[in-house]
Amino acid sequence: MKFELKSHITKAVALAFCGALATAAQAAPTVISGFGTTSATIDDAGFFSPTSALGLSFLGREFVNLGTFGSNWSLNANGGSVAVANAASPTNPLGTVTFSGGSSVSLTTNLGSGGWTLVETVSIPTSGHVAVQIQLTNNTGADATNVQWSVGVDPDQGIPGGVGFGTTNEILGIGNASAVKATSRDGWSLTLANTTSADASALAGYIDPLSCCTPIDPATILAAGQAVGSYGFADSSINLAYALGDMANGATQTIGYEYIMAVPEPETYAMLLAGLGLIGFSARRRSAV
Protein backbone atom coordinates (compact mmCIF):
# COMPACT_ATOMS: atom_id res chain seq x y z
CA MET A 1 0.00 0.00 0.00
CA LYS A 2 1.51 3.32 -1.02
CA PHE A 3 0.83 6.58 0.77
CA GLU A 4 1.35 10.01 -0.82
CA LEU A 5 1.49 13.20 1.22
CA LYS A 6 -0.67 16.03 -0.14
CA SER A 7 0.16 18.88 2.24
CA HIS A 8 2.42 21.75 1.16
CA ILE A 9 5.31 22.38 3.56
CA THR A 10 6.52 25.92 4.26
CA LYS A 11 8.16 25.73 7.69
CA ALA A 12 9.46 22.46 9.04
CA VAL A 13 10.64 20.46 12.01
CA ALA A 14 12.05 17.08 10.99
CA LEU A 15 12.63 14.04 13.18
CA ALA A 16 15.01 11.55 11.53
CA PHE A 17 16.24 8.38 13.19
CA CYS A 18 19.55 6.90 11.96
CA GLY A 19 22.91 5.92 13.39
CA ALA A 20 24.82 9.04 12.35
CA LEU A 21 24.19 11.02 15.54
CA ALA A 22 23.25 8.28 17.95
CA THR A 23 25.24 9.81 20.79
CA ALA A 24 23.99 13.39 20.37
CA ALA A 25 22.87 15.27 23.47
CA GLN A 26 19.23 16.14 24.12
CA ALA A 27 18.17 19.55 22.83
CA ALA A 28 15.40 21.87 23.98
CA PRO A 29 11.95 21.56 22.39
CA THR A 30 11.74 23.47 19.12
CA VAL A 31 9.24 26.26 18.44
CA ILE A 32 7.97 26.91 14.93
CA SER A 33 5.66 29.77 13.99
CA GLY A 34 4.12 31.27 10.90
CA PHE A 35 1.84 33.96 9.49
CA GLY A 36 1.91 35.87 12.77
CA THR A 37 -0.95 33.70 14.02
CA THR A 38 0.19 30.12 14.51
CA SER A 39 2.84 28.35 16.59
CA ALA A 40 3.76 24.86 17.78
CA THR A 41 6.38 23.60 20.22
CA ILE A 42 7.73 20.16 19.28
CA ASP A 43 9.36 17.95 21.89
CA ASP A 44 12.37 15.73 21.16
CA ALA A 45 10.01 12.74 21.02
CA GLY A 46 7.84 14.33 18.33
CA PHE A 47 4.72 15.34 20.28
CA PHE A 48 3.58 18.84 21.29
CA SER A 49 5.78 19.85 24.21
CA PRO A 50 4.28 20.30 27.68
CA THR A 51 7.24 22.47 28.73
CA SER A 52 6.17 25.59 26.81
CA ALA A 53 3.23 27.93 27.42
CA LEU A 54 2.37 27.53 23.73
CA GLY A 55 2.23 23.86 22.74
CA LEU A 56 -0.18 24.51 19.86
CA SER A 57 -1.67 27.99 19.49
CA PHE A 58 -3.64 30.14 17.07
CA LEU A 59 -4.46 33.85 17.39
CA GLY A 60 -3.27 33.81 20.99
CA ARG A 61 -5.50 30.89 22.01
CA GLU A 62 -3.70 27.79 23.33
CA PHE A 63 -5.20 24.48 22.16
CA VAL A 64 -3.34 21.68 24.00
CA ASN A 65 -1.13 22.94 26.81
CA LEU A 66 -3.90 23.45 29.38
CA GLY A 67 -5.50 21.14 31.93
CA THR A 68 -4.21 17.57 31.80
CA PHE A 69 -1.74 17.55 28.93
CA GLY A 70 -2.34 15.00 26.18
CA SER A 71 -0.26 14.59 22.99
CA ASN A 72 1.03 11.22 21.83
CA TRP A 73 1.79 8.77 19.03
CA SER A 74 2.01 4.96 18.87
CA LEU A 75 3.65 2.43 16.54
CA ASN A 76 2.65 -1.25 16.29
CA ALA A 77 4.14 -4.11 14.26
CA ASN A 78 3.90 -7.90 14.22
CA GLY A 79 0.85 -7.87 16.48
CA GLY A 80 2.43 -5.83 19.29
CA SER A 81 3.60 -2.40 20.36
CA VAL A 82 6.95 -1.08 19.09
CA ALA A 83 6.90 2.39 20.66
CA VAL A 84 4.57 4.81 22.47
CA ALA A 85 5.48 8.48 22.95
CA ASN A 86 3.32 10.21 25.54
CA ALA A 87 3.58 13.84 26.67
CA ALA A 88 1.25 13.36 29.67
CA SER A 89 4.00 11.27 31.29
CA PRO A 90 6.87 12.35 29.01
CA THR A 91 8.57 9.50 27.23
CA ASN A 92 11.01 9.38 24.33
CA PRO A 93 10.98 5.70 23.32
CA LEU A 94 13.23 6.12 20.29
CA GLY A 95 15.72 8.42 22.01
CA THR A 96 15.34 11.21 19.46
CA VAL A 97 16.86 14.70 19.67
CA THR A 98 15.78 18.00 18.14
CA PHE A 99 18.40 20.11 16.35
CA SER A 100 17.99 23.62 15.00
CA GLY A 101 18.65 23.93 11.29
CA GLY A 102 18.02 27.67 10.99
CA SER A 103 15.29 30.15 11.70
CA SER A 104 12.54 28.10 10.07
CA VAL A 105 13.84 24.51 9.92
CA SER A 106 14.78 22.14 12.74
CA LEU A 107 16.05 18.58 12.47
CA THR A 108 16.07 15.66 14.87
CA THR A 109 18.43 12.78 14.24
CA ASN A 110 19.18 9.70 16.29
CA LEU A 111 19.25 5.92 16.27
CA GLY A 112 15.82 4.28 16.04
CA SER A 113 14.61 1.50 18.34
CA GLY A 114 14.44 -2.03 17.03
CA GLY A 115 15.61 -0.98 13.59
CA TRP A 116 12.62 1.26 12.77
CA THR A 117 13.63 4.50 11.05
CA LEU A 118 11.24 7.45 11.39
CA VAL A 119 11.35 10.89 9.78
CA GLU A 120 8.74 13.31 11.15
CA THR A 121 8.29 16.73 9.56
CA VAL A 122 6.10 19.36 11.23
CA SER A 123 5.14 22.48 9.26
CA ILE A 124 2.83 25.49 9.16
CA PRO A 125 1.53 25.54 5.57
CA THR A 126 -1.06 28.27 6.21
CA SER A 127 -2.57 30.23 9.06
CA GLY A 128 -4.19 27.99 11.67
CA HIS A 129 -2.82 24.77 10.15
CA VAL A 130 -0.01 22.61 11.57
CA ALA A 131 0.86 19.75 9.20
CA VAL A 132 2.72 16.55 10.07
CA GLN A 133 4.42 14.08 7.72
CA ILE A 134 5.48 10.66 9.02
CA GLN A 135 7.95 8.61 6.96
CA LEU A 136 8.44 5.16 8.44
CA THR A 137 11.05 2.64 7.23
CA ASN A 138 11.44 -0.97 8.32
CA ASN A 139 15.15 -1.53 8.94
CA THR A 140 14.71 -4.42 11.38
CA GLY A 141 16.33 -6.96 9.08
CA ALA A 142 13.08 -8.89 8.65
CA ASP A 143 9.66 -8.38 7.08
CA ALA A 144 7.06 -6.85 9.42
CA THR A 145 3.33 -7.60 9.48
CA ASN A 146 0.33 -5.53 10.50
CA VAL A 147 2.18 -2.22 10.89
CA GLN A 148 -0.02 0.48 12.48
CA TRP A 149 0.40 4.12 13.50
CA SER A 150 -1.83 6.32 15.67
CA VAL A 151 -1.72 9.92 16.87
CA GLY A 152 -3.83 11.62 19.52
CA VAL A 153 -4.27 14.94 21.31
CA ASP A 154 -6.41 16.35 24.12
CA PRO A 155 -8.05 19.58 22.87
CA ASP A 156 -8.26 22.07 25.77
CA GLN A 157 -8.89 25.34 23.94
CA GLY A 158 -11.98 26.30 25.95
CA ILE A 159 -10.55 27.26 29.33
CA PRO A 160 -9.42 30.87 28.53
CA GLY A 161 -13.08 31.76 27.96
CA GLY A 162 -14.07 30.32 31.33
CA VAL A 163 -16.03 27.51 29.71
CA GLY A 164 -14.07 24.47 30.88
CA PHE A 165 -12.04 21.74 29.21
CA GLY A 166 -14.93 19.87 27.60
CA THR A 167 -15.59 19.93 23.85
CA THR A 168 -18.32 18.80 21.47
CA ASN A 169 -16.67 15.93 19.59
CA GLU A 170 -17.48 14.79 16.05
CA ILE A 171 -16.26 12.31 13.47
CA LEU A 172 -16.38 14.35 10.25
CA GLY A 173 -15.29 11.67 7.80
CA ILE A 174 -13.97 8.14 7.40
CA GLY A 175 -11.53 6.45 5.03
CA ASN A 176 -9.42 8.94 3.07
CA ALA A 177 -11.59 11.73 4.48
CA SER A 178 -10.93 10.72 8.10
CA ALA A 179 -11.19 13.76 10.37
CA VAL A 180 -12.11 14.33 14.00
CA LYS A 181 -13.26 17.72 15.33
CA ALA A 182 -13.50 19.09 18.87
CA THR A 183 -15.30 22.39 19.53
CA SER A 184 -15.27 24.28 22.84
CA ARG A 185 -18.40 25.89 24.28
CA ASP A 186 -17.27 29.28 23.02
CA GLY A 187 -16.83 27.97 19.48
CA TRP A 188 -13.07 27.51 19.02
CA SER A 189 -12.42 24.24 17.17
CA LEU A 190 -9.51 21.86 16.65
CA THR A 191 -9.71 19.31 13.83
CA LEU A 192 -7.29 16.41 13.34
CA ALA A 193 -7.58 15.49 9.66
CA ASN A 194 -5.88 13.00 7.35
CA THR A 195 -3.96 14.44 4.39
CA THR A 196 -2.89 11.05 3.00
CA SER A 197 -4.17 9.29 -0.11
CA ALA A 198 -4.95 5.72 0.96
CA ASP A 199 -7.51 2.92 0.78
CA ALA A 200 -10.65 3.71 2.78
CA SER A 201 -10.14 0.75 5.11
CA ALA A 202 -6.64 1.93 6.06
CA LEU A 203 -7.68 4.97 8.12
CA ALA A 204 -9.92 5.67 11.10
CA GLY A 205 -10.79 8.55 13.38
CA TYR A 206 -11.56 7.98 17.05
CA ILE A 207 -13.00 9.87 20.00
CA ASP A 208 -11.96 8.27 23.28
CA PRO A 209 -15.08 7.80 25.44
CA LEU A 210 -13.03 7.11 28.58
CA SER A 211 -10.07 9.48 28.73
CA CYS A 212 -8.73 12.83 27.63
CA CYS A 213 -5.07 11.98 27.62
CA THR A 214 -4.14 8.30 27.45
CA PRO A 215 -2.49 7.01 24.24
CA ILE A 216 -4.87 4.74 22.32
CA ASP A 217 -3.56 1.55 20.72
CA PRO A 218 -3.97 1.96 16.93
CA ALA A 219 -5.47 -1.55 16.80
CA THR A 220 -8.24 -0.38 19.16
CA ILE A 221 -9.00 2.65 16.99
CA LEU A 222 -9.08 0.66 13.75
CA ALA A 223 -11.32 -2.03 15.27
CA ALA A 224 -13.78 0.44 16.82
CA GLY A 225 -15.18 1.58 13.48
CA GLN A 226 -16.60 4.85 14.79
CA ALA A 227 -18.95 6.30 12.18
CA VAL A 228 -19.53 9.88 11.05
CA GLY A 229 -21.52 11.82 13.63
CA SER A 230 -21.50 13.55 17.00
CA TYR A 231 -20.13 11.75 20.05
CA GLY A 232 -21.37 14.29 22.58
CA PHE A 233 -19.79 16.84 24.91
CA ALA A 234 -16.91 15.59 27.08
CA ASP A 235 -13.24 16.09 27.90
CA SER A 236 -12.12 13.47 25.36
CA SER A 237 -9.08 13.01 23.16
CA ILE A 238 -9.30 13.03 19.36
CA ASN A 239 -7.25 10.47 17.42
CA LEU A 240 -6.37 9.07 14.00
CA ALA A 241 -5.02 5.59 13.20
CA TYR A 242 -3.38 4.19 10.06
CA ALA A 243 -3.14 0.55 9.01
CA LEU A 244 0.01 0.33 6.91
CA GLY A 245 -0.23 -3.40 6.24
CA ASP A 246 2.86 -5.59 5.85
CA MET A 247 6.21 -3.89 5.26
CA ALA A 248 9.16 -5.78 3.82
CA ASN A 249 12.60 -5.11 5.25
CA GLY A 250 13.79 -1.82 3.77
CA ALA A 251 10.27 -0.71 2.77
CA THR A 252 9.04 2.83 3.53
CA GLN A 253 5.53 4.21 4.09
CA THR A 254 4.62 7.90 4.24
CA ILE A 255 1.49 9.31 5.85
CA GLY A 256 0.30 12.80 6.74
CA TYR A 257 -2.22 14.65 8.87
CA GLU A 258 -3.03 18.21 9.92
CA TYR A 259 -4.16 20.00 13.05
CA ILE A 260 -6.62 22.70 11.93
CA MET A 261 -7.53 25.46 14.39
CA ALA A 262 -10.49 27.76 13.76
CA VAL A 263 -12.21 30.71 15.45
CA PRO A 264 -15.96 30.68 16.23
CA GLU A 265 -18.41 31.34 13.41
CA PRO A 266 -20.18 34.74 13.71
CA GLU A 267 -23.46 33.07 14.66
CA THR A 268 -21.69 31.25 17.49
CA TYR A 269 -20.46 34.55 18.89
CA ALA A 270 -23.99 35.96 18.58
CA MET A 271 -25.46 33.02 20.48
CA LEU A 272 -22.78 33.28 23.18
CA LEU A 273 -23.41 37.00 23.65
CA ALA A 274 -27.16 36.43 23.74
CA GLY A 275 -26.67 33.77 26.41
CA LEU A 276 -24.51 36.08 28.49
CA GLY A 277 -27.15 38.79 28.09
CA LEU A 278 -29.87 36.48 29.39
CA ILE A 279 -27.72 35.54 32.36
CA GLY A 280 -27.17 39.23 33.17
CA PHE A 281 -30.88 40.02 32.76
CA SER A 282 -31.86 37.17 35.09
CA ALA A 283 -29.33 38.34 37.67
CA ARG A 284 -30.71 41.89 37.57
CA ARG A 285 -34.28 40.63 38.00
CA ARG A 286 -33.27 38.56 41.03
CA SER A 287 -31.47 41.50 42.61
CA ALA A 288 -34.49 43.78 41.99
CA VAL A 289 -36.77 41.34 43.78
Angstrom distances, CA of residue 202 to CA of 19, 77, 94, 136, 243? 31, 15, 25, 16, 5
pLDDT one-digit tens code per residue, 222-255 = 999 999 999 999 999 999 999 999 999 999 999 9
As a whole number, the mean pLDDT across the chain is 81
**pLDDT higher than 90, residue 268:** no
Give residue 3's pLDDT band: very low, low, confident or very high (50, 70, 90): very low
Q: What is the DSSP string of 190-257?
A: EEEEE-EE--GGGEEEEE-SS-SSS---HHHHHHH-PPSEEEEEES--EEEEEEEEEE-TT-EEEEEE
Which are the contacts of 203, defined by CB distance < 8 A and separation ≥ 6? Answer: 174, 175, 176, 178, 194, 196, 240, 241, 242, 243
Using only the alpha carbons of the chain, give its radius of gyration: 20
pLDDT one-digit tens code per residue, 138-164 = 989 999 999 999 999 999 998 766 778
Given a contact cutoff of 8 angstroms between Cβ atoms, the answer to whether 166 and 158 are in contact is yes
- Strands 252-262 vs 129-138: parallel, antiparallel or unpaired: antiparallel
Q: Collapse the DSSP code of 268 into the 3-class scheme (helix H, G, I; strand E, B; otherwise coil) and give the result.
A: helix
Map out the domains of the chain as residue ranges: 4-288
CATH among 2.30.110, 2.70.98, 2.30.30, 1.10.3210 for 4-288: 2.70.98
Query: How high is the pLDDT of residue 23?
Result: 34
Give the CA angle between residues 6, 157, 178 to the nearest 5°: 30
The whole model's pTM is what?
A: 0.85
Q: What are phi and psi of 96, to 5 degrees?
A: -85, 160
Query: How high is the pLDDT of residue 164?
Result: 82
**pLDDT higher than 80, residue 203:** yes
Q: Is the torsion defined by CA of 87, 187, 230, 209 positive or negative?
A: positive
**Quick one: average pLDDT of 112-141?**
86
**Quick one: average pLDDT of 100-129?**
69
